[in-house]
Chain A
Amino acid sequence: MSGVGVRIIAFRVLAVPICLIIWELVSRSALYNPQLFPAPSQVLVTLWGDLRSGLVLSDARASLSRVAVGYLSGALAGIAFGLLTGRSDMARATVGQVFQLIRPIPPISFVPIAILWFGLGEFAKYFLVFFGVFFPVWISAHLGVNHIERSYIWTAQSMGASRWSQIFNVYLPAAAPLIFAGLRVAVATSFFCLVAAEIAGASSGLAFRIEISHLAFRVERMFANLIVLGILSAAADQGLAFGIRKLFPWAQERAP
């Protein structure tokens, strides 16, 4: 291995610890109010305590179930409507047009309305995550279906494939690379929406805990939950990418 290669690996391994050490030193040097800027060691101690007490686990469970329900329903609906508007001119002219009007509105701005309509219960959270996931998935599925190579559809038609068979064997797999891209974008937006929804009003969840800790001035707990949130979001994204690679090997070169 070349010297440059070794050096790069060394940097990769050391980058995070060095950051943590600098953080620790800055925090301990009391250049800035340590109350507002806790050292990583404090954060980790808090995180460990919350893990042992089960607080993190129950919050994570609440948050993840919201993301899961919202994401799955949003993704399924997005794909279904994408197929519809991508295939039918009629649907594109009607439903598609309405969607195009709503799509640019940032989903977070629906938080007050969601609370007004659905109250502070779980459904409002599902709704917001759904809302954030639906549009990116819909537009990518729509484009994917729209750009299918004509000969694939012709080939299936001249085999006498039924409508459903065409959907599952041609339209969906042909549009898959774009749909996958939309699904991955939606992972990030689903977490945005979750955070917005939980901050606006909830009684559990990781973002709720951050908000509550803010009121209680427990900055190290805020950091602890931020870390958990970051890890979960990254894990969801990488998990999805891994799943796509394993389940759809033919889309490998094209899936990001």
Chain B
Amino acid sequence: MGDDALSVVNVSLEYGAAEFRALREVSFSINDSEFAALLGPSGCGKSSLLSVIAGFVRPSQGLISAFGRPIVRPGPDRGIVFQHHSLFPWKSALENVIYPLQCKGIDRTTAHEQAMIWLTEVGLEGFEHFYPGALSGGMQQRVALARLFAADPKIFLLDEPFGALDAYTKLQMQELLLRIWEKHRRTVLFVTHDTEEALLLADRVLIMSAAPGTIVEQFAVPLRRPRSVAALFAPEIVAVRQHVLSLMQQEHRKRILFNLGETKKLDSGRNLRLGYVSDIAALPLLAASKKLADRAVRPELVMEPNGDVIIEEVTSGRLDLGEVSLVAAVLAAQRGKRFRIVSGWGALNASSGNLMAICSPQGSANAHLGSLLGKRLGLNGFGTLSEFLVRRAFQDQGQMPQLVSLRPETFRFALEQRVVEAVAAIDPWLGLLCDTSGFEEVRSLDAYLPPDPLFVLVASEEAVRSRKPALTELLSECQTGWARVQSSVEVRNQLIDEFLGVTPPEFSRAFTLRPCDAVTVDDLETLKDLLGRVGMTKETARLDCSSLLHLLY
């Protein structure tokens, strides 16, 4: 054990008279010059663990040692970079990098030289006299990295350093860190909740469970160095990635349920647990829940991009109400899931732009759907409205492109990396791709939309019976929700930003959401029939969903 760069043995951490257990008997070790990633869902105690290792917080029990020496307080052998506030705003970039060198007793001239070398290394030559306030978030973290490498502690601790950056900047930073680390090989413990980030950067990934956090699994990343972002799409990583994703999903769900369980205990039943898929059609529900939050009914919102998971949670009683596409609901019903459809609505664009379209890099000559055959087409999951529309669009071709399930946030990345030739995107992602990222709509899918309702609210029989007053209140607020969402672009964009986590571009897509209170048996039969005609059945949907990334390779 004396040879380990860092060894953590049986560490537990409790806050406030053992009321909250943040960490439970965590044990692991990191080798010298190893890049380890600590991966776990948000709030699982990863950052607490890092604080304990840095020496800022004393563990309730357990032992931590760095190169054989027990850790009791912060020290210059362990350097840290935080997600926020990592730089001193009162020092220029250069002064920030020089400071730890001066603390080490290095004379000013040498410190200055070294600092400049590292600032140049991270691409900030010419910005050395800027104060952090004048630098972008990405540039600030570049300075923080330069400072860490210049200080050169024995162990580098990084606490979600790129967590606050936008997707593109994050990618650039990851590549930068990869490049520098591969050149200098230091011992790193990198905390993140981003699976891709962990796999891309680390030699070894430690997976942490939901609170109280503990290491549930660790494995070596089977990727050779030097790596680049493209490595994430290498065949040898598929199985690992899939495995990690499912583990993370499991832990994430545990956390959600854990949180929900907490509220249930606290509240006498006036709270509502709502799940929604991350698309624009959830907005009336979100607007309604926001309204209700001011009253006695307290909505708890859970976003889950996979409609099947939402239905699963609804039927097992862990969610009171779920928002999914009718396609997902019909397929789930075919699989024998029992639930009630309590409301529904359709979404359609009124004026400029499409609700859904196939989107491709500009000038890629994919206007003919035939040119996409044999290529990869990204979409937001299987058993979804998107899959249905794509299948309908390609019905005449008699053949399908390779469909790849991607989270909508990664559309742009997947297109840029040419992992897929095109994506089938729905607003607001469609707008983001076309209006701000230089992609273009090559084929509208709006013509293939099935008759309304497109989206439904589902609840279990049990919830309909026991939560009737709260649900009724919510549904009536949904009516005003529609009106609000359509009343102003500001309200709509604010909701998109708040709940879907996307800042909508300055595009003027106007769309209407049409309420559709009664969902009839005919509606279901019509859709079932349409699904059958394009070859979407309970089996295909289920099969594809369980193997998200298989189609990539």
Contact = CB atoms under 8 A, between A and B. Distances in A.
A174 B90 contact: yes
B99 A159 contact: yes
- B contact residues, range: 20 to 34
Interface residues of A, number: 23
Interface of A is mostly: helix
Interface stretch (B19-27, B71-79, B434-442): B71-79
B85 A250 contact: no
B86 interface: yes
Interface string A243-256: 00000111101000
Interface of A: 149, 151-152, 154-162, 165, 169-170, 173-174, 176, 248-251, 253
Contacts of B90: 173-174, 176, 248, 250-251
Contacts of B103: 156, 159-162, 165
A154 B157 CA distance: 12
Nearest to A149: B85
Interface of B: 51, 54-56, 73-76, 78-80, 82, 84-86, 88-91, 99-100, 102-104, 131, 133, 151, 153, 157
Nearest to B54: A158
A157 B133 contact: no
Interface of B is mostly: loop
Contacts of B151: 159
A161 B89 CA distance: 17
Contacts of B91: 169, 173, 250
B89 A155 contact: no
Nearest to B89: A250
A170 B85 CA distance: 12
Contact of A160 (B51, B75, B133): B75
B82 A151 contact: yes
The 8 closest A-B pairs by CB, nearest first: A160-B76, A173-B90, A157-B74, A159-B100, A158-B74, A151-B85, A250-B131, A161-B103
Contacts of B54: 154, 158
Contacts of B73: 157
Contacts of B133: 250, 253
A174 to B, nearest CB: 7
A250 B92 CA distance: 9
B88 A160 contact: no
A160 B79 CA distance: 9
6 contacts: A157-B56, A158-B79, A158-B157, A159-B151, A176-B90, A248-B90
Contact of B76 (A152, A154, A158, A251): A158
B88 A158 contact: no
B64 to A, nearest CB: 14
B315 to A, nearest CB: 44
A4 B75 CA distance: 61
Given A159-B99, A162-B103, A154 B88 contact: no
Nearest to B101: A159
A165 to B, nearest CB: 6
A160 B75 CA distance: 5
A158 B52 CA distance: 12
Contacts of B75: 158, 160
A170 B88 contact: yes
A158 B85 contact: no
Given A158-B80, A160-B76, 4 more contacts: A151-B84, A158-B56, A162-B103, A250-B90
B187 to A, nearest CB: 15
Contacts of A170: 88
Contact of A158 (B55, B84, B102, B131): B55
